[in-house]
Structure 1
Amino acid sequence: MKEKGILFVLSGPSGVGKGTVRKALFEQDTELKYSISMTTRPIREGEQEGVDYFYRTREQFENMIDENKMLEYAEYVGNYYGTPKAYVEEMLDKGHDVFLEIEVQGAMQVKQNFPHGVFIFLIPPSLEELKNRIIDRGTESEHLISSRLDEAKNEIEMMEAYDYVVVNDDVDHAVRKVQSIVQSEHCKRERIAKQYKQLLEVDER
């Protein structure tokens, strides 16, 4: 009997390196299914539609909200971000682990809809390092950098809502910690016990 997949949610402040850690993780772990987020923010140089994000207009995104087709969504610094619902549900039912890389507001919505998901908070070594990473992008104005740092301080205070915290001081170290979390969750007694109880019920029949 195939175990139902686990929903893993990687979240943290903007600029902390969520995308970098996620990409490095998926280069090593081909079993995870990545659920690509949708956004209304402009596509950046080097990004690809359907690879980094699904890029939609504000009107298109709001239509999907009205039709209840989003697992979660949030408005962050003037743009919507969210996760289409259908793909996540299908993969979990087929026994695949699904990995979401989303903003903090969206993660809190997922926690309400999927309380049995596993929530991982990625933090920078320091706020100064976070500021440097945002500046190094070269895509943000001075005003937007300040807004993101203020928001980051508020988001870091929300880490108590998460199951795990990983410091992204080194990408390889962060990836290994996330891999350990995935392995540990599959070894949890309650998950294995539930699976074997189902097997015993089938055997008794």
Structure 2
Amino acid sequence: MTNPSLQHLFFIIIGPSGSGKTKVAEAVLPKDYKVISHTTRLKRLGEQGGIDYYFETQEQFQNLIQSNALAEYDTYNGQKYGVGIDELLRKTSKHCAYDVLTFQGFEAIEKLFKPMVVPIFLDVSKENVMTRLQERGDLPEIIKERSALYDQEIKNKEKIIHYPQHFIIDANQPFDCVVKSLAHIVEECIKKHD
């Protein structure tokens, strides 16, 4: 069975933890353009089902996997996360959409929906990531964990350059410059595809 194709572009923002992926994406793209992921993690204070995530039990998530309802899924900190195919099709039916995902998540979705998937990597130095985490007030053990994770995540930059339609943004720049860079990429890509 072949998957239906996306009607509009799907931008996937990738980068090391602490690169500012989520904040930059939210500053450029409207909130209702975000593809809502499914997760088994507990709802945090202020979060709402269907707005922040689709909160699932382990059993519900397993059913999504078994019914091939997910375009991609992964486990992070012992909790499952995944992007639903129906959600992706719905969000891209009238306009572009976006999500902040891992490189592995991008690979899985790209296999299903190329050429409508655009990876954008936020490249940031380890020093800047550590500084940002300290300024944010993260605990020393979290900073240490993110430091180890950085070395793995930055390697994805070398993998992403093998995809014909990829972009790399220097996220060491001031926030407003990174936002302008992303906005320009999104605008140019949409122009080419409309």
User: Structure 2-normalised TM-score?
Assistant: 0.78
Residue deviations 1:51-70 (CA, integer Å, cap 9, x gap): 33223233322221111111
* Residues 51, 107 of structure 1: alpha-carbon distance in 2 compared, 3 angstrom cutoff: same
Matched, 1:177 2:177: no
What is aligned with 1:115? 114
Native 8 Å contact 2:121 2:169 kept in 1: yes
Whole-Å separation in 2 of the counterparts to 1:49 and 1:140:
28
What secondary structure, in the 3-state scheme, does the structure 2 residue paired with 1:13 have? Answer: coil
Whole-Å separation in 2 of the counterparts to 1:138 and 1:56:
30
Whole-Å separation in 1 of the counterparts to 2:52 and 2:10:
19
Residue deviations 1:113-157 (CA, integer Å, cap 9, x gap): 222111101233x21221233445556671x44333222211211
Whole-Å separation in 1 of the counterparts to 2:81 and 2:133:
19
Q: What's the Cα RMSD here?
A: 2.6
* Residues 187, 22 of structure 1: alpha-carbon distance in 2 compared, 3 angstrom cutoff: closer
Whole-Å separation in 1 of the counterparts to 2:148 and 2:167:
23
Whole-Å separation in 2 of the counterparts to 1:140 and 1:52:
24
Residue deviations 1:64-112 (CA, integer Å, cap 9, x gap): 11111111111123222211110211343x3421112222321221122
Native 8 Å contact 2:38 2:84 kept in 1: yes
User: Structure 1-normalised TM-score?
Assistant: 0.75
* Unpaired runs of at least 5, structure 2: 1-5, 161-165
What is aligned with 2:12? 9
Following superposition, the deviation at residue 171 of structure 1 comes to: 2.6
Native 8 Å contact 1:14 1:103 kept in 2: no
Following superposition, the deviation at residue 43 of structure 1 comes to: 3.5
What is aligned with 2:28? 25
The range that moved more, 80-89 or 165-174, is 165-174
The 5 A counterparts of 1:40-119 are 40-92=40-92, 94-116=93-115, 117-119=117-119
One-letter amino acid matched to 2:112:
N
Whole-Å separation in 2 of the counterparts to 1:48 and 1:123:
31
Native 8 Å contact 2:15 2:153 kept in 1: yes
Following superposition, the deviation at residue 179 of structure 1 comes to: 1.4
What secondary structure, in the 3-state scheme, does the structure 2 residue paired with 1:118 have? Answer: strand
Whole-Å separation in 2 of the counterparts to 1:91 and 1:46:
23
Whole-Å separation in 2 of the counterparts to 1:49 and 1:135:
30
* Unpaired runs of at least 5, structure 1: 193-205
